[in-house]
Amino acid sequence: MHHHRAFMSAEPSKLSAIARRELASSPRLDSPDLYLNPHLGLLAFQRRVLEEAQDKNTPLLERIKFISILSSNIDEFFMVRVANLWQQLETRTTEIGIDGRSPLEQLELIRVEITNLTTEIYRLWHDEIMPELNSAGIRILKLDELSTQNRIFVDDYFAREVYPVLTPLAVDQGRPFPHISNLSLNIGASVTNGDGVERFARIKVPGTLPQLLALPAGEPHELSFVWLEQVIIANLGMLFPDMEIVKADVFHVTRDAELAIQELETEDLLESIQEAVWRRRFRDAVRLQVESGMPQKLVDLLTSNLELDQNDVYRVDGPVDIGRVKALLNIDRPALNDKPFMPSTPKGFGGPRGEIFKTIQEGDVLVHHPFESFQPVVDFLRAAADDPDVLAIKMTLYRVGRNSPIVEALLDAIQNGKQVAVLVELKARFDEESNIEWAQKLEREGVHVVYGLPNVKVHCKMAMVVRREGERIRRYLHLGTGNYNPGTARAYTDLGLFTCNEEIGADVSDLFNHLTGYSAKKAYRKLLVAPHSIRSGLEKLIRAEMERQTQHGDGHIIFKMNALEDAGMIRLLYEASRAGVSIDLIIRGVCSLRPGVPGVSDNIRVRSIIGRFLEHSRIFYFHNGGEERVYIGSADLMPRNLNRRVEVLFPIENARMLRRIRDKILEKYLADHVAARIMQPDGSFIRQANKPGRKVLSAQEWFMKHEA
């Protein structure tokens, strides 16, 4: 694997003065200088998440929530992005980045930034969060801080609950170095039997037990915990009787988790994904986190066996795998959390289920989650399952979550004799196992289950209910920007549309036939569908806005999305900016476009909003001389979304809804000067200062007051 990596130094991603002068005099839109590295852009987003955890105005347990989110984001960053760069190096399929950097240069910059981020996370935890937890009467104790009584409790808990689960694995001539699975927390112990020879053993910290052990309450309103690994280390003598424990340290391994699935060589996609998920545990290691005090000898033993080198080792000042602080989020202290809010129910929903179809017949309904409830989506499917006039239900499922009411509604529909067809995307990263489980359950009950398409992921969000009404058949649709997952619908901002528009219905029918059958259809009446027509459709709309600007001077584009990484789309936006079109981009995560570069992107402004809810809706707005056009849907402007996924953008044609999206939703995001960060030409983000006399506005707060 990757032994002895020679790193090259790489300059940080800033426009040099010379490059700036050259660009200003004769900017070439394909110059790598004009594009920011997406991997570094994703780390810049992680830094914005860290700022939320650092914000003293955020309630304490919510700050801890942001630390746990950040930790799992960084895990995923290694498992996917860093692993991909290493794969390129090892297979010699080196792709030069959008910014002209080689994989090696990118890896070096990533390492510097991750080291800085990690240092700051632990500084925040030790210097601010821990003292605040103490003040709130919540203490995480070290073993030497335990009272005698608590120490007896801990040892007893170990003997009863922990000891039977542990498997100490010795490493010696007869016993090879054990496999260390992805994201597992481990204890590396050096033990001796008095002969002066140190032997190594590994103990896996069980993920099935609470990571923070709650201690018996001392004072009322006081809570005390101790980390599970400390409980184990304190009792290693039970695992190694008559041996002396020299040293014990905690470590954590991250592995490459990309699923390489050779779809063309396999008959059964379901089976090959099950196998690939299982094999994921054994992929190459890409990061080793160790406690800062771990002896170098032990670090060397780990790196040589994991085929890593010192550049892949991150020493941290405990607790290792800080994402486990999410165990604290179950503490019942409302004062330390965000104030709860109740989503509203859109008009026409929430009454008897049978009336849902009547409501949709009367006019399209737009729902804005989480400010408006996700329940109407569940009720829509339940109504379809119960309604004697409904003949069929078809839907796509990507990330559904466990014990899903959506899956229950589909099972009820089958029992009530409806035709049910579901397209399940098994390749939904990190949800593969959950998807396999309930896809098989649906199949057993008689649902037609189709597992994605070869070589593309199906990422669009759509549900269609076919209903007999007298002499005619009517199609009712739900199209959305988010997954059919009631859990994430409470935490993500998304938009959904209920409609029985005939042309959209015909398009959705055609698209389902393409997904489940052999239809080669590429053109649709109303929908833009990737991988065929989203890129060309948006290009046409952007060019129309440029034309409009040339003739009338009122070209305006507003795009809201999670990420902008596609070089072709960025170049087109640069062209539109040069043509004078005013462009506002609201981008939560990666933005590889540089705003405000003279002669290139003077007319482009980029803002990022991170807050209580994860911004997830995608909106594409074109002023079109006052006859506005708006598309919403599941696609970000990334090569994977435009080229390798089935995505849908659908038009909003109802005038009232258009006004709501433009004036109530987009306008509030553009006026936000509380959560919003403004992107600079060098890729950094700064907070906006509030102007005197201006009313303080946070978009998400406003939605909670006015939309919920």
Confirm whether 448 is a catalytic residue: no
- The widest CA-to-CA distance across the chain, in whole angstroms, is 91
> For 160, left (φ over 0), alpha (ψ -120 to 50), or beta?
alpha
Separation of alpha carbons 96 and 111, rounded Å: 18
* Cα–Cα nearest to 375, from 477, 482, 490, 464: 490
Separation of alpha carbons 36 and 637, rounded Å: 15
Q: Are 485 and 510 in contact (CB under 8 A)?
A: no
Separation of alpha carbons 564 and 559, rounded Å: 10
* Cα–Cα nearest to 73, from 56, 59, 97, 52: 52
Annotate 111-164 with DSSP letters as a single string.
HHHHHHHHHHHHHHIIIIIHHHHHHTTEEE--GGGS-HHHHHHHHHHIIIIIGG
Q: Are 618 and 481 in contact (CB under 8 A)?
A: yes
Q: Which of 369, 459, 556, 673 is catalytic?
A: 459
Q: How many residues does the chain have?
A: 708
Q: What is the CA radius of gyration of the chain?
A: 27
* Cα–Cα nearest to 77, from 41, 125, 25, 26: 41
**How would you classify the pairing of strands 461-469 and 390-397?**
antiparallel
Q: Are 85 and 258 in contact (CB under 8 A)?
A: no
Which residues fall within 8 angstroms of residue 196, CB to CB, at 6 or more apart?
Answer: none
Q: Are 178 and 202 in contact (CB under 8 A)?
A: yes
* Cα–Cα nearest to 425, from 460, 386, 381: 460
Separation of alpha carbons 484 and 496, rounded Å: 11
Which residues fall within 8 angstroms of residue 156, CB to CB, at 6 or more apart?
Answer: none
Instruction: List the structure tokens of 653.
Output: 């044609």
Which DSSP state fits 317?
S
3-state secondary structure 427-453: CCCCCHHHHHHHHHHHHHCCCEEEECE
Q: Are 290 and 315 in contact (CB under 8 A)?
A: yes
Q: Are 419 and 393 in contact (CB under 8 A)?
A: yes
- Give the 3-state secondary structure of residue 682: coil
Question: Any alpha helices (H) in 565-622, and if so which ranges?
Answer: 567-578
Question: Any alpha helices (H) in 280-335, and if so which ranges?
Answer: 296-306
Q: Annotated catalytic sites, by residue? A: 459
